[in-house]
Structure 1
Amino acid sequence: MYILYGSEVSLYTGKIRAYLKYKQLPFTEVLSTISVYKKIIRPKTGVAFIPVVKTPSGEYLQDTARIIDYFEAQAQANTQADTNTNNLSVVPNTPAQHLVSELFALWGDEWLVIPAMHYRWNKDNFPFIYEEFGQVVTPKAPKFIKAYFGKKLAKKFQGFVPLLGITEKSIPYIEDWYENTVLHYLNEHFATHKYLLGDKPCTGDFGLLGPLYAHLYRDPAPKRLMDKIAPNVAAWVKRMNNPNTAHQASTSASNDINNPASTPAFLANDEIPAALLPLLKDMFTQQWPVLKNTSEALTDWREKDASNENTPHFIPRTIGQHSFKIGRSETGNVDEQRFVSSFHQYKLQRVLDVFNSIEKPNPYVMSLLEEVGGVEYMQLDEKDRVTFEGNRLVFE
């Protein structure tokens, strides 16, 4: 039995909970109270981030991307013995879909945090949010007590909002972009597709689910918005959190050798649905300049401090500030400042590694990248790659 340490209010817990359910992995969930942080999460992982998954062998896994890697590697090793395990793989084995899946995983994990944090902390979600955070402090107390103590803890997270570039100046552009680009095109796509790339979820679906569930679906104000203007996205959120029907179809199909087409699968011929193309263009217009600049800033930071004997061994989570643009091309965008997240270098590497693993030449992949403006970014020089020592970033 696996143990998931997390919280309903946590963006990344929602992502990995849905993954564990989809993979039919037996687990129990433990609320990450202050006591759990002190006694388990910090001592066992060396950091203070959730979710954490404890394996039956006593390993403690941290960071959702690496948690999924861990389980997918296990499943791959067991594929020959269990065909249903293979049916439930979330990693496409065709080049374009594999790359697009990782692009959406990166977008969901790191860029959709912007609207997620805005709609949580700048909209009418109280006292619900305070009560949710109060669960961590006083899980057995009445709601009003939870709200009292939860407000104190919530203020800490609320303080991150301007660091993400969410300000009075940028908020109108964030809302216009989220409602008329993100929700609009996802709603169009999920009108005709169960998941991003077919009849079963990929890593990109789980990346999207984090912000689109914990913040933008569970919190009252953005939930009302999603239900109203993007009902197909709301239906997808429910589907991601309740995969029983997909499991039943996969199991029955895998037992029916005369009906292989009924097995939930990714789209044939490495197809990328047309409704996703505007979102891919948006990624390369807004997020990828920030990723490129982050990589450059990390190199500058390393070179600047290379001769300093006090330079920390572990890379700080933030290394200064840089500018970014957000908004829609149709209505204009705005310049704002945000912190430079060194962790984005690791997530950038994951995408570039997928691209570099594709056998060249691949005209279809290159044509797709040309259409969405991604060719240049796939050629980025990874001068200072990062890796993990324990659960903390270091240079390779």
Structure 2
Amino acid sequence: MPKPHTLYAITHSLYSGRARAYLIKHGIAFRELSTGHESFKAEVLPKSELPTIPTLVTPQGEVIRDGAAIIEHFEAANNRSCRPPGPRQQIISALFDVIGTDGLLRPAMHYRWNFPEDNLEFLRYHFFYSQRDTPRREERTEQMMDRMRYAAMIFGVTDQTSAGVEALYLEYLDALNTHFEQYPYLLGWRPCIGDFGLLAPMYAHLGRDPYPAKIMQQRATRVFRWVERMNRADQDAPEYFNAGTEFLSADEVPETLVAVLKVLAKDFVPETLAAADRINAWLAENQPDAGSSAVGRLGQAIGTAKFTACGDTIEALAQPHRFYLLQRVQDTYRALATEEKSGVDALLETCGMSALLTAELDRRVVRSGNLEVWAEKPA
């Protein structure tokens, strides 16, 4: 039997769920280990460069850090099986990848950390057993949990914004539920890259933690079924009696999905524009060296950006990683023919997402080894 891949991940990790689902859906044999496993520190971390999850080790010993890079590794080798053929669908798929991994952090963190009566013991179990059994296990568990509670605040969840975060999430959840009445996946009968990106917050935080999982099960049963479906190797769509096997034909983006994007645009677009302004100001002031880390613990602190969404003023961490993924949307758009761009323009205008095509940083973020780094200054 061939040696399987090893996925270093944690069950309750937002980003791990995205990579895990991709491996499951594509029948890629893997075993999953916690980062608390001794082999992670001794063998993997020197090559991964950052102690983040998910990190994959191939049977040949190659180490790949970050969910986006793990998926890209397999997509490049397998004829882009999750990329729809049409330009409109390609843009929407890539856009949902960004929104899922960076645009839904507020509700994910809010519903995880601000309902301790329902969630606390569930979370403590997962944080505790993600670590080795050492004398400091209990102490380290509390430290990890405190750090993640703080992350909820720096992503913009406060007493003043929490009601708005909930209202917008429930509006989005209702719209997504309506879409899944018609189709088992975002763009039809098979998952695209956007499905995996969107799953990141919808599985580990919003679909498993007790309080938000109950909301999803009771208010948006079809969304909950999609979360289950994304963790099954088969299509898992018996309730769709007219199910096909491919992406929707004729480059169709259903009106039900447009409705979802209209809701998401309400805070994703103003946050993205504010974050771009903040990061560009930081770039002008600091002039980081080409090749220096743009993300994670090795990157320099950039600070927060203020923006207004649904009448609330929100201040959230400005993260270059959002633009690393958004570059893929913009690069795909630039490569389109003129007539194809016209169709995409009309679609994004309807969704309220047009501004994202030009929400760019003055320096690109590129991947070098296992790090996302600042590119050379443009000429």
* Fold equivalence (TM over 0.5): yes
SS of 1:322's partner is: strand
Quote how far apart the aligned CAs of 1:242 are.
1.2
| Residue 149 (structure 2) aligned to one of 144, 158, 174 | 158
1:361 lines up with 2:378 in the alignment: no
Aligned to 1:125: 119
Of 262, 279, 282, which residue of structure 2 is paired with 1:298? 279
For residue 187 of structure 1, what is the amino acid of its counterpart?
N
Deviations 1:322-378 (A, max 9, x none): 112344xxxxx3102112112222122111111112211223222212212233431
| 1:270-293 deviation line (CA, Å, top 9, x unaligned) | 000111112222343321232233
Q: Is the 8 A contact 1:97 1:270 kept in 2?
A: yes
Structure 1 187/262 Cα, relative in aligned 2: closer, same or farther at 3 Å? closer
Report deviation, 1:313.
Answer: 3.0
1 CA distance for matches of 2:179 and 2:291?
45
Tell me the distance in 2 between the aligned counterparts of 1:163 and 1:130: 21
Map 1:9-88 to 2 at 5 A.
9-33=12-36, 35-76=38-79
Q: CA 1:198–1:139 in 2, change beyond 3 Å: closer, same or farther? A: farther
Count of residues in correspondence between the two structures: 362
Would the aligned equivalents of 1:138 and 1:149 in 2 still touch at CA under 8 Å? no
Residue 222 (structure 2) aligns with: 232
Distance 1:48 1:168, change over 3 A: same
Q: Tell me which moved more, 11-20 or 34-43.
A: 34-43
Cα distance in 2, alignment partners of residues 271 and 247 from structure 1: 20
In terms of mean alpha carbon deviation, does 348-357 or 268-277 score higher?
348-357
Distance 2:82 2:67 in 1: 14
1:314 to 272, 293, 296: 293
Structure-2 separation of matches of 1:159 and 1:36? 29
Q: Which residue of 1 aligns with 2:184?
A: 194
Q: Secondary structure at the match of 2:183?
A: coil
Look up the equivalent residue of 1:95 and give its one-letter code.
P
User: How far off is 1:168 after superposition?
Assistant: 0.3
2:55 and 2:66 in contact (8 A); partners too:
yes
Deviations 1:172-231 (CA, angstroms, capped at 9, x unpaired):
00011111x221011001111110000000111111111111011111111111111000
Q: For 2:369 and 2:76, locate their aligned partners in 1 and report how far apart those are by CA, in whole Å.
A: 19
Q: Distance in 2 between matches of 1:289 and 1:317?
A: 24
Verify the 8 A CA contact 1:133 1:146 in the aligned structure 2: no
Alpha carbons of 1:73 and 1:317: their partners in 2 closer, same or farther (altered >3 Å)? farther
CA contact (8 A) 2:280 2:361 kept: no
What are structure 2's unaligned runs of at least 5 residues? none
Contact 1:217 1:226 in 2 (8 A): yes
The yes-or-no answer on 1:178 pairing with 2:172 is no
Specify the code of the residue in structure 1 equivalent to 2:353.
G
SS in 2 for 1:325: strand
- Give, in angstroms, the shift of residue 34 of structure 1: 6.2
Distance 1:91 1:58 in 2: 27
Q: Secondary structure at the match of 1:336?
A: strand
Residue in structure 2 matched with residue 383 of structure 1 by the alignment: 362
Separation in structure 2 between the aligned mates of residue 27 and residue 312 of structure 1, nearest angstrom: 32
Say whether residues 1:267 and 2:248 are aligned partners: yes
Going from structure 1 to structure 2, the CA distance change for 1:284 and 1:221 (only over 3 Å counts) comes to closer
Number of the residue aligned with 1:330: none
One-letter code aligned to 1:341: Q
Q: Is the 8 A contact 1:134 1:148 kept in 2?
A: no
For the residue of structure 1 that corresponds to 2:82, the secondary structure is coil
Please give the per-residue CA displacement for 1:289-330, whole angstroms capped at 9, x wherever unaligned. Answer: 322332332222222123x99x99333264011112344xxx
> Partner letter of residue 99 of structure 2?
W
Give distance in 2, aligned partners of 1:352 and 1:2: 32
Cα deviation for residue 131 of structure 1 reads 0.8
SS state at 2:339 partner: coil
Task: Tell me the SS of whatever aligns to 2:314.
Answer: strand
- Using the size of structure 1 for normalisation, the TM-score is 0.85
Match of 1:110 in 2: 102
Alpha-carbon distance between aligned partners in 2 of 1:337 and 1:4, rounded to the nearest angstrom: 34
Aligned sequence identity (%):
32
Deviates more, 1:341-350 or 1:289-298: 289-298
Asked whether the 8 Å contact 2:276–2:359 carries over to 1, the reply is: no
- 1:126 positional shift: 1.5
Secondary structure of the equivalent of 1:159? helix
One-letter identity of the residue aligned with 1:336: I
- Contact kept in structure 1, 2:100 and 2:201, CA below 8 Å: yes
Could you say if the C-alpha distance between residues 379 and 326 of structure 1 is closer, same or farther in structure 2, counting changes exceeding 3 Å?
closer
Match of 1:257 in 2: none
* SS of 2:185 mapped into structure 1: coil
- Tell me, in whole angstroms, the C-alpha distance in 2 between the residues paired with 1:247 and 1:221: 26
| Counterpart in the other structure of 1:258 | none
Is contact 1:131-1:146 (8 Å) kept?
no
1:323 maps onto 2:315 in alignment: no
Q: Could you list the per-position Cα deviations for residues 92-122 of structure 1 after superposition, in whole angstroms to 9, with x for gaps in the alignment?
A: 1210000000111111100111111111111
2:209 equivalent to 1:215? no
Residue 312 of structure 2: aligned partner:
334
User: Which structure is larger by alpha-carbon Rg, 1 or 2?
Assistant: 1
**What is the one-letter code of the residue matched to 1:57?**
Q
Pair 1:370 & 2:349 matched: yes
Q: Tell me, yes or no, if the aligned pair for 2:189 and 2:243 is still in contact at 8 Å.
A: no
Aligned to 1:169: 160
